[in-house]
Structure 1
């Protein structure tokens, strides 16, 4: 399984288009949204400035791009080309394939997170304690595993032709509803109530709590754990279903 993980990481890092959209694009969006924003004015009742809010949001957005979009499309294409069927003939267990996809996707999400942080610190002069930088990186990186599992599930749900539009709908829908592109304080009340239960909202909230000097809230952690169980269960069921069809 370790060999497969290394192969997946190397293949992903060689994909220039993928690296652009998962690493450069979120940082560019950060500059577009927060580049001219005040570094002292607090947004709503968040107790954070827009540069701080969007730093976590865009780092989370970049990580989701790396693990969700990349995973789903690769798996769907591998199924069509027969690569997955070939792997089933080896000693690699089914769970090993699923776990290798989740693990390799989580590893390549790290550059997405770090690059946004570097841009925020260099351009908007965001300053945090050393422990906060480390905790932010760890929390956002660990949280990306939830969306890596979702990517595996989508990859087994959709065909090669349908996977991209389906992934984009999920990707943009979760990003917008979760408040990654704009603070949820700008949403109408009913939409804020929905946003609070989105995995992307809980994901961004992990980093926002750390920026305020505290620990992530238990509710947000519980929401992410619940979604991880749901997405992993769906991925496992869809993998088994695909195995029976093969």
Structure 2
């Protein structure tokens, strides 16, 4: 539960911080205002990313403290650190999904679309219920989702292989498969976001 809800928390933070918030900024015309100033856009985005990382760390720390004190979770120091680093990285890995929503959707529709994307992703990735207890079709869909592969990486930091296999309802795959899926999706969505942002800039100038 600690790992599942940790994944749920950082992915939601990424999607809504970079999706909903950036879409609202677009709706208010903030990118146009920023482009007319000497203030670099990358500094603004770096600050937003840093803020999201801080919030992700807070989520991980609070949940870990509750799990340790009230849930009786016992891990080694190395496991706590590895789990924390893995979960925190999720906010950056899935930031490109948030940005894609922000730039591809209309600002007023971004919140609805973010929810329509996030909730099914979380359910089908096993963050809410073990995939081993859900219909097999959900497991077949899950293997194509980056959030599922992210969860697999997080589970492996603290859970025995047999527990991971039970939770996911599938035979274990090499770690590189999960890494390739998560990083590859992040890069692909990042490229889509850059294309959408440039298209909007050209349209605005035209």
Name the SS for the 2:139 alignment partner. helix
Asked if the contact 2:149/2:181 (under 8 Å) is kept, the reply is yes
Asked if the contact 2:14/2:95 (under 8 Å) is kept, the reply is yes
Partner of 2:149: 202
Matched, 1:178 2:92: no
Name the SS for the 1:104 alignment partner. helix
- Show the 5 A alignment for 1:117-128: 117-128=64-75
Asked if the contact 1:101/1:152 (under 8 Å) is kept, the reply is no
Partner of 1:108: 55
Displacement of 1:142 in angstroms is: 1.1
TM-score after normalising by structure 1 = 0.72
Tell me: CA distance 1:241–1:92, structure 2 relative to 1, closer, same or farther (3 Å): farther
Name the SS for the 1:211 alignment partner. coil
Asked if the contact 2:142/2:148 (under 8 Å) is kept, the reply is yes
- The unaligned stretches of length 5 or more in structure 1 are 1-53
Q: How many residues are matched?
A: 192
Matched, 1:223 2:197: no
Determine the C-alpha separation between the residues in 1 that align with 2:95 and 2:187: 12
Matched, 1:64 2:22: no
Determine the C-alpha separation between the residues in 2 that align with 1:176 and 1:183: 9
- Show the 5 A alignment for 1:1-246: 54-212=1-159, 217-246=175-204
Q: CA RMSD in A?
A: 1.9
Q: Deviations over 1:122-173 (max 9, x none)?
A: 1110000000000000011112212111111111122222111100000101
- The unaligned stretches of length 5 or more in structure 2 are 162-173
Tell me: CA distance 1:144–1:213, structure 2 relative to 1, closer, same or farther (3 Å): farther
Name the SS for the 2:156 alignment partner. helix
Name the SS for the 1:59 alignment partner. helix
Determine the C-alpha separation between the residues in 1 that align with 2:7 and 2:106: 27
Displacement of 1:225 in angstroms is: 0.8
Determine the C-alpha separation between the residues in 2 that align with 1:76 and 1:209: 34
Asked if the contact 2:11/2:90 (under 8 Å) is kept, the reply is no
